[in-house]
Amino acid sequence: MSDVSPSDRRRVELLEIVSKRGLKELSLEDLKELLILVEKKDYSHNKKAQKSKTKLVAKIHARIYDLEEKSMFR
């Protein structure tokens, strides 16, 4: 019926959380997982999707940096 892999399902699940509530809703572990899953996904066939992916990856990196910096100064 459906050829959706568990990693694709997880990526979509995390992206739905981000689209509804933002990156701040995800834990550091979830952010790192999402980063890997998004970077793995190939959007080269769709220029607009590739551009969105690049922007999202940058935002995820920034959020991870913020969380890791905050935890260093506790």
Q: What is the pLDDT of residues 14-73, one digit of tens each?
A: 999 999 999 999 999 999 999 999 999 999 999 999 999 999 999 999 999 999 998 887
Taking the chain, what is the end-to-end CA distance rounded to the nearest angstrom?
49
**Separation CA 10–CA 19 (nearest Å):** 14
So where are the chain's domains? Answer: 6-72
What is the predicted pLDDT for the residue at 70? 86
Handedness of CA 62, 64, 67, 73 (dihedral sign): negative
**Separation CA 15–CA 58 (nearest Å):** 15
Determine the angle formed by the axes of helices 28-40 and 6-21, rounding to 10 degrees.
120
Residue 56 is classified by DSSP as: H
